[in-house]
Amino acid sequence: MHVVVAPDKFKGSLTAREVADRVAAGIAAVTPGVDVVRVPVADGGDGTVDAALAAGYERIPVRATGPTGAPVDTAYAVRDGVAVVELADVSGLRLLPPDRLAPRTATSYGTGEVIRAALDRGCRSVVLGIGGSASTDGGAGMVEALGVRLLDAAGNPLPRGGGALADLDRVDLSGLHPAVARTRIVVACDVDNPLLGPHGAAAVYGPQKGASPDDVTALDAALKHWADVVDAVLAGPGGLQHGGLTAVGLEQGHLAANPANPPANPAPATRDRAGAGAAGGVGYAAMAVLGAELEPGIGLVLDLVRFADHLPGASLVVTGEGSLDEQTLHGKAPAGVAAAAAKAGVPVVTVSGRLGLDRAQLERAGIAAAYALTDIEPDVQRCQAEAGPLLERLATNLARERIGGTTP
């Protein structure tokens, strides 16, 4: 018999690994004979590389360009030729002070630098988590770091950032990193926004990144121009015939092998596809230029950490995150863990800082019981400041009720 502890982070208080350690300690305090397997998880946003490292991946440090140009010390994780890259750790909004956001000039260039480092190392697959972006540059910075040239009418390199895309005259794909052609790139994405319009990258996520209404209008127009130029290049004589793009298209099926004979029921234009607007348009560039696939974040992470391997023989799975609420039910880590455990017939309980779901919602999500820090400490500020000890105490209650522990 064993218990699997597979939580996400308590944002602002504990990392996923720290949550798992505290829960394991609480369980061990009252059920010392039970084996506890710790499998920290993430949903594709911040914490994705940490989850891979906890599962045995190797950390490869990289110095890259941050969202406003300052250098950032980051890392990717690698195992068996698979690299895990986390946009939030190099191009993330959390890297900028709240009063120094850069909605028009922030760039995804550093994310491309980390991907390039993984390609140079010979990785055959790249998993890219794209939650938490600081930029709205359509992924232009990312592909520029991978060798694509963005030029203005005078033939000069374009400044970085979404605002500068309004002055884009041409895109030169000839320098795209040759390894893109032979690398499977999968993007962890849990949003379905298109690139443009009222539900697009600028309109929905721009205000979080400091964009004013005028910024949103300008960025949306710049992203449209970016997509127009890229799509024209891909459809033109130098587009699909480009070696890397042709290989990716033929191997992964994302680009038509013969654009002169499109299929009878063509897929939506890349800019209109679900997820194209993710991470300020990084989803668009990843699909259009890199031939990437988009998949739900938690499913990707569960595969990376081999979560299913720990379920046979498990008597219980404990998952959770800082706030268990309506958002949890829409692709967040605890919902994904609960769904995977349910398929294996293993009961699931959750731990969280606060609980915003009722009994019926928990049952529909496959959660047998929910434990929150606010159950034992009503002061929310204290819950955040003392999350570790309180969580350990909460886990002892969980163990007594769900595992049959006794006070030593």
Q: Could you give the CA distance from residue 125 to residue 127 in angstroms, rounded to a whole number?
A: 7
Q: Which amino acid is at 292?
A: A
Q: Could you give the CA distance from residue 25 to residue 393 in angstroms, rounded to a whole number?
A: 9
The pLDDT-based confidence of 163 (bands split at 50, 70, 90) is very high
The pLDDT-based confidence of 243 (bands split at 50, 70, 90) is very low
Average pLDDT of the residues in 159-182: 96
**pLDDT tens-digit map of 192-232:** 999 999 999 999 999 999 999 999 999 999 999 999 999 99
Domain with CATH 3.40.50.10350 in the chain: 2-41+306-402
pLDDT, position 256: 29
Taken in order 297, 301, 304, 308, the sign of the CA dihedral is negative
The pLDDT-based confidence of 245 (bands split at 50, 70, 90) is very low
Please tell me the class of the 48-299 domain.
alpha beta
pLDDT, position 405: 56
Percent pLDDT > 70 in the chain is 91
pLDDT, position 282: 98
| Residue pair 45/131 in contact by the 8 Å Cβ criterion | yes
Tell which residue, 341, 328, 282, 342, has the closest CA to residue 86: 282
pLDDT, position 240: 40
Domain with CATH 3.90.1510.10 in the chain: 48-299
Task: Tell the CATH superfamily of the 2-41+306-402 domain.
Answer: Glycerate kinase; domain 1 (3.40.50.10350)
pLDDT, position 307: 97
* Predicted confidence (pLDDT) at residue 261 exceeds the cutoff of 90: no
Q: Could you give the CA distance from residue 70 to residue 165 in angstroms, rounded to a whole number?
A: 21
**pLDDT tens-digit map of 73-124:** 999 999 999 999 999 999 999 999 999 999 999 999 999 999 999 999 999 9
Q: Between residues 330 and 162, which one has the greater pLDDT?
A: 162
pLDDT, position 162: 98
The pLDDT-based confidence of 265 (bands split at 50, 70, 90) is very low
* Predicted confidence (pLDDT) at residue 48 exceeds the cutoff of 80: yes
Taken in order 340, 346, 350, 355, the sign of the CA dihedral is positive
Q: Could you give the CA distance from residue 231 to residue 96 in angstroms, rounded to a whole number?
A: 32
Mean pLDDT of the chain: 91
pLDDT, position 252: 29
Count of alpha carbons within 13 angstroms of residue 55, beta-carbon side: 28
pLDDT, position 190: 86
**β-sheet bridge partners, residue 188:** 129, 295
Percent pLDDT > 90 in the chain is 87
pTM: 0.88
- Please give the structure tokens belonging to residue 27: 């369980």
Q: At 103, is the secondary structure helix, strand, or coil?
A: coil
The pLDDT-based confidence of 149 (bands split at 50, 70, 90) is very high
Task: Output DSSP code: residue 344.
Answer: T
Query: Worst-scoring range by mean pLDDT, 30-34, 177-181, 194-198, 266-270?
Result: 266-270
pLDDT, position 260: 38
Continuous H helices in 63-155: 88-91, 109-120, 140-145
* Predicted confidence (pLDDT) at residue 167 exceeds the cutoff of 50: yes
The pLDDT-based confidence of 327 (bands split at 50, 70, 90) is confident
**pLDDT tens-digit map of 290-307:** 999 999 999 999 999 999
pLDDT, position 242: 35
The pLDDT-based confidence of 330 (bands split at 50, 70, 90) is confident
